[in-house]
Structure 1
């Protein structure tokens, strides 16, 4: 499985990278939505994009709509990971095609639980 982490905060990208690689994902990073589109156009095919909303150059919502407008990328699971907590913003992102929405701050377990709900992660049965 492959993940693309899109956030203008280097620290947040590092945190998310640690979480998803610990869950078995290969990860790539982008500092804004335009860089993320460049990564997709370069041939990197993620199963999952973790997307911040507020970024320079191109925000996460615009990136989300661009991905959803491209038939080649329709199968990518899109999860907003952002400080935007207003109900209106959550509804807007989900209506535009986001599969899930995580509000910062979050725990690694919250990310893992969302990925499990999305079918991207299976928990090992405990013996």
Structure 2
């Protein structure tokens, strides 16, 4: 497993002929420890995870990578912050309708309001409960 957490693709189980395509998820987390934890939690639940560790790598994944079923992104990423990435993602027609959950240690009302105004569908503060992370991502994917 590679540490990190942006550009995440996830699937409930391996894709086989005749089965539905696995769900996918994209996101961003620059802290290697938290990125590893997110990857571990999601892989234990059957998600397939592809990761990037900074805003530039996440921006490339958004611009050229595969569109996913949900996005999890840290607000504070090196190089390009998560809110700027979110605003860019929301301007791309191919990402229209993809739910986004922001993940950050900034849980104050102003930060939450900025994220929601930029187009986030949900906001989860750090530290987070792993079960809540999985539950919220599943809810976003289903919406």
TM-score (ref. length: structure 2): 0.76
Q: Distance in 2 between matches of 1:43 and 1:56?
A: 20
Partner of 1:116: 138
Partner-residue secondary structure (3-state), 2:77: coil
Aligned runs of 1:1-127 on 2, under 5 Å? 1-120=23-142
Partner-residue secondary structure (3-state), 2:79: coil
- Runs of 4+ displaced beyond 3 Å: none
From the superposition, tell whether residues 68 and 18 of structure 1 become closer, same or farther in structure 2 (CA, over 3 Å).
same
Q: How many residues align structurally?
A: 121
Q: Which ranges of structure 2 fall in alignment gaps of 5 or more residues? A: 1-22
Structure 1 residues 84-125: Cα deviation after superposition (integer angstroms, max 9, x where no partner): 11101101111211111000001111112212332449xxxx
Instruction: State the superposition RMSD in angstroms.
Output: 1.8
Does the CA contact (< 8 Å) of 1:81 and 1:101 recur in 2?
A: yes
